[in-house]
Structure 1
Amino acid sequence: CIYGAGAIGGYLASALDQAGAEVSLVARGPHLKAIQEKGLRFEKDGQISTHHLPASENPNEFGRQDFVIITVKAHGIPKIAQNLIPLLGPETAVVSAVNGLPWWYFHKAASRTSLDDQPLQSVDPGGVIWETIGPERAIGCVVYPACEIAEPGLIRHLDGDRFTLGEPSSEPSDRVKHLSALMISGGLKAPQKTKIRDEIWIKLWGNCSFNPVSALTGASLDLIGNDPASRAVIRDAMIECRKVGLAVGARFNVDIERRIQGGADIIGHKPSTRHDVELGRPMELDALTSTVLELARRLEIETPSLNAISALV
């Protein structure tokens, strides 16, 4: 079941349907109505495929699942945690395909800090998700593609096809192997990584710096990364983010200038947080910046640049 069949959820649904999986969708509003009436349409490279899939606002209609893939934004997961219960059987795995540090991050993290086996309050206030879903169900997923809802019921692919998967325990597993095989069969790249947290931090490195600066300025990644003043702000934020990541055991196998340039080379792209501002939607900053600041506070690491950016946004 894809819970939150928006842009990324719709992309995953179309790929898994193509792979022959039994896919159901939880969605709402005009998007749900269009899917129910015309099917989920997916556009890539000018070609449109149509997928007639069970879709509802009520997860009770679908019963227990092998996999539940959550594609609502991180700040929305606590609100839907109780709704997931009808989908969860004894062996159901839950994949949070969202940006930022996930709610399960410190489950079996072995970070050798006081944070191990505790929920992250900035994305899971009061441990609601941790207690309702259970971190033992979690499979890590780092989302790289960009898609958009072109109109209700129609998902347009913009860029990328990679969803990196891994167990919080850093061990290989049959369930990750099975999900990866399904996704690959549907035309996606789905590498399995034992160090999934390192992958999370490399993406977060850009998200916690470029995203809020874009939200503040309205500028695209290339304009931010190629302007000396804003590039310096990004660099300072990344230095602080890396310091926090290293403190909880993450490894960064890319240097800062190369990571910044990777963003600067993407011409005209505005990250999701900027689109949230333009559309008047809540921003997903809790998972992108608040989590890093929460760790910094609890580990007594100074982050003046990230503090300033967060306060301005």
Structure 2
Amino acid sequence: MRVCIFGAGAIGGYLAVSLAKAGADVSVVARGPHLAAMQASGLTLRKDGDEQTCRIRATDDPRQLGEQDYVIVGMKAHAVPAVVERFEPLLGKDTTVVPAVNGLPWWYFHAAKTGTVLDETWLESADPGGAQWKFFGPERAIGCVVYPACDVPEPGVINHVSGDRFTLGEPDGSDSARLRLLSEMLIAGGLRAPRKARLRDEIWIKLWGNCSFNPVSALTGASLDVIGADDACRRLIHDMMAECKAVGEAVGARFGVTIEQRIKGGTDIVGHKPSTRHDVELGRPMEIDPLVSSVLEVARRLGIATPSLDSVAALLRLQGQVLGLYDRRPRVEVAIRPQS
């Protein structure tokens, strides 16, 4: 089984080693010192006190890899539209694309049957100009909700911090052969990979925290436990989650936990700062649109008021612009890719 990880950073690298352990023919697309280290010495995973190094084909040129059975997208969601045409050499007639990303994914409203004007459309905030929708085609997509935490302490090395679950689902909720095969491969590599008919519910549960805790931490520099211990900030998080829940329910999502339970789940993690704050501290482009703007776009399209989310999002965007870490991208015009 040929699998390419496009973007072999922390999560992509973790997946690459795990799939190689399962016996898949794995390749990665990467760049810079991380790529050079993998080409020279392989990709090393540090997990639970052990260290394992795999020799994996690594390149910055997808043309060297050929058509794949699965392409797993390990880049951050906002970085993909501008480079979508680089995926061309990897795509055969039956290639499956698996975006392992945060936020509302570009395929979300394919086969969603929400009964709203959003069905069978893309979100501009998640996929400017429909770049991925048009190029990949939503019928290629399998959804993936990512739970592990990993980092790259040095080029060529992935450090596993916590978690091993990658929840998978077809956009139409079916238990397809390609979904079962991907799940079985991940499980054989030592990961948990449950298949969910209602994957969108898990997307919203994770997004609940991403659209509230992430902006507040990015703006304040506070860890989740510190945010939860501040009464005013905790009330703000509660209000933002209530607005997010209303938006999610309007497109059919079910929230199986209460807002207070979700807040407690975040604030019980002492010292943790979410990825958007790490973007600020490391001077990386901020992941704002998939996590926050996407929720607001759905709200505007459906006429739902989100005053708390609107206010915090305005501050977050301004912070990103002032720091030079956020620039709302223009529409990316991509031709519809002909089928092989």
State the match for 1:131 in structure 2.
134
1:204 aligned to 207, 212, 235, which one? Answer: 207
Cα offsets for 1:219-242 (capped at 9, x unmatched):
111111222111111000000000
**Over the residues paired in the alignment, what is the CA RMSD in angstroms?**
0.6
State the match for 1:83 in structure 2.
86
Instruction: State the distance in 2 between where 1:32 and 1:226 align.
Output: 41
Instruction: State the distance in 2 between where 1:249 and 1:21 align.
Output: 36
Q: What is the identity, as a one-letter code, of the residue corresponding to 2:260?
A: E
State the match for 1:228 in structure 2.
231
1:56 aligned to 46, 55, 59, which one? Answer: 59
Equivalences for residues 38-57 of structure 1 within 5 A: 38-57=41-60
Instruction: State the distance in 1 between where 2:49 and 2:221 align.
Output: 28
Instruction: State the distance in 1 between where 2:272 and 2:41 align.
Output: 30
Partner SS state of residue 269, structure 2: coil
Question: How many pairs are equivalent?
Answer: 313
Instruction: State the distance in 2 between where 1:8 and 1:134 align.
Output: 24
- Percent sequence identity over aligned pairs: 64
Q: What is the identity, as a one-letter code, of the residue corresponding to 1:45?
A: D
Q: What is the identity, as a one-letter code, of the residue corresponding to 1:76?
A: A
Instruction: State the distance in 1 between where 2:225 and 2:194 align.
Output: 28
Instruction: State the distance in 2 between where 1:291 and 1:212 align.
Output: 14
Instruction: State the distance in 2 between where 1:149 and 1:199 align.
Output: 26
Instruction: State the distance in 2 between where 1:293 and 1:92 align.
Output: 32
State the match for 1:290 in structure 2.
293
Instruction: State the distance in 2 between where 1:106 and 1:225 align.
Output: 33
Instruction: State the distance in 1 between where 2:207 and 2:278 align.
Output: 18
Partner SS state of residue 252, structure 1: coil
Partner SS state of residue 142, structure 2: strand
State the match for 2:24 in structure 1.
21
State the match for 2:220 in structure 1.
217
Runs of 4+ more than 4 Å apart: none
2:144 aligned to 116, 141, 145, which one? Answer: 141
Instruction: State the distance in 1 between where 2:171 and 2:204 align.
Output: 14
Identify unmatched segments of 5+ residues in structure 1. Answer: none
Q: What is the identity, as a one-letter code, of the residue corresponding to 1:83?
A: R
State the match for 1:169 in structure 2.
172
Q: What TM-score do the two structures reach when normalised by structure 2?
A: 0.91
Q: What TM-score do the two structures reach when normalised by structure 1?
A: 0.99
Instruction: State the distance in 1 between where 2:172 and 2:84 align.
Output: 22
Identify unmatched segments of 5+ residues in structure 2. Answer: 317-340
Instruction: State the distance in 1 between where 2:126 and 2:6 align.
Output: 18
